[in-house]
Amino acid sequence: MSNTELAKGVYWVGAVDWDVRDFHGYSTYRGTTYNAFLIVDEKVTLVDTVKRSHMGDLVRHIKAIIDPAKIDYLIVNHVEMDHSGSLPEIIELIKPEKVFCSPMGHKAMLDHFHQDDWPFEIVKSGSEISLGQRTLQFLETRMLHWPDSMFTYLKEDGILFSSDAFGQHYATSERFDDQVPMSEVMEECGKYYANILYLFSPLVQKLLKSVADMNLDIKMIAPDHGIIWRSNMSMILEAYQKWSSGVCTEKALVIYDTMWHSTETMAKSVAAGLEEAGVSCELINLRYNHRSDVMTKVLNAKAIVLGSPTLNNGVLPRMAGFLMYMRGLKPLNKLGAAFGSYGWSGESVKYLNTAMEEMNITLVEEGFRHKYVPDAASLEECMAIGIRVGKAVKEAMAD
Ligand code: FEO
């Protein structure tokens, strides 16, 4: 069996994007893949397509197996452009008998491509179609992570085509989980979850339960990004269970930006206090860390201590941007505290506290600010904040 054959007659025909480094604001240092799959049966079926820029790879991979004109069915699990951008050209090329999609997928395709003459066939959760020797079953996964999203399950081979879920932005010439370092893959899966799915965690919990209740005999999970799971499925399913239920590690992040190093000095003392309390901590200067990497660390940490000087009655712009980004992703089950230097008005700590309260982050204390350059007493207080947050983390983890 070739490296692109998932099962007899089921092929990966997607594209590897080695170069992408920014995915609508999410840093993708390891590139990505746009996975699509071809099932050769009495009804030849293409599951998903690719980003428009990579359509040539998709067509080349299909042609290596079969004449694209022989494709009968097209399944559209998700309408976001990284999977649908090539749809107009692909539909023109293959002239499918039917284009299967969820009810919301139908609406989304009309809103994207304005082609009401495409041969849409709307399917709902539980709908099945026969390809001849094989059967496809559909499962709507609304808001995971778009309204149109759905899974497609290939019953006879036990392959779950899971769209974005369980995926990672990870470019590789390998196709399967047992061919690549799992540490790299899991790091990218965590980043994907933290930056794309975190806000939908309650729905992820429901989905995991629905899939378990369906008693599907899943042998392989084939997402639309990154590697295909066949040897380590329990690893990714357990990770999704953990991330979606808000399980954290005994760790605190000191996330800050600084103007003239006063807040930075305070941050170091907060970190020293956390260490004193025996809690693992990480100092994160927003000037040097991309927001999507910071969110990946937030996913697992129990506490977030935010620091910013006051600028124009608020916080520094990098901190403001990070707060907006994190608020949208709805972090789960966190403790928090704030600190910062100021010159005259000094609103930053209040601003940070309000932002954390709006995110349902439990404040350990009211926070601490210091005018201009911190002295020894202020740094002692910052260290005391670190110790108190560290103790709160330990107590919370012991519960
Ligand atoms: Fe990979 Fe939601 O697109």
Query: What pLDDT digit, counting tens, does each position of 345-358 carry?
Result: 999 999 999 999 99
Q: Would you tell me the crossing angle of helices 291-300 and 182-192 to the nearest 10 degrees? A: 100
Among 145, 170, 193, 198, the active-site one is 145
Q: Would you tell me the crossing angle of helices 87-94 and 103-113 to the nearest 10 degrees? A: 100
Give the pLDDT band (50/70/90) at residue 235. very high
Residue type, 338: A
**Cβ 17 under 6 angstroms from ligand 1:** no
Model confidence at 15: pLDDT above 90: yes
**Spacing, Cα 17 to ligand 1 middle (Å):** 14
Q: Would you tell me the crossing angle of helices 376-398 and 262-276 to the nearest 10 degrees? A: 40
Name the DSSP class of 306: E
Residues 6+ apart with CB under 8 A from 336: 303, 304, 305, 306, 356, 361, 362, 363, 364
DSSP one-letter string for 242-296: HHHTT--EEEEEEEE--SSSHHHHHHHHHHHHHHHTT-EEEEEETTTS-HHHHHH
Residues 178-199: what's their mean pLDDT? 98
Active site residue 145: yes
Model confidence at 156: pLDDT above 90: yes
Omega of the bond leading into 61 within 30 degrees of 0 (cis): no
Which residue segments constitute the domains of the chain, with CATH numbers given? 5-244 (3.60.15.10), 249-394 (3.40.50.360)
Give the pLDDT band (50/70/90) at residue 283. very high
Residues 41-67: what's their mean pLDDT? 98
Model confidence at 4: pLDDT above 70: yes
Residues 42-59: what's their mean pLDDT? 98
Pick the atom of ligand 1 nearest to 167's CA.
Answer: 1
Side-chain-facing half-sphere of 199: CA atoms under 13 Å: 12
Give the pLDDT band (50/70/90) at residue 2. confident
Query: What pLDDT digit, counting tens, does each position of 133-150 carry?
Result: 999 999 999 999 999 999
Active site residue 290: no
**Spacing, Cα 80 to ligand 1 middle (Å):** 5
Among 17, 48, 57, 80, the active-site one is 80
Model confidence at 94: pLDDT above 90: yes
Residues 318-341: what's their mean pLDDT? 98
**Cβ 164 under 6 angstroms from ligand 1:** yes
Name the DSSP class of 341: E
The two tokens of residue 39 are 């099932």
**Cβ 224 under 6 angstroms from ligand 1:** yes
Give the pLDDT band (50/70/90) at residue 3. confident
pLDDT computed for residue 399 by the predictor: 85
Active site residue 24: yes
The mean pLDDT of the chain is 97
Model confidence at 95: pLDDT above 70: yes
Among 164, 177, 188, 264, the active-site one is 164
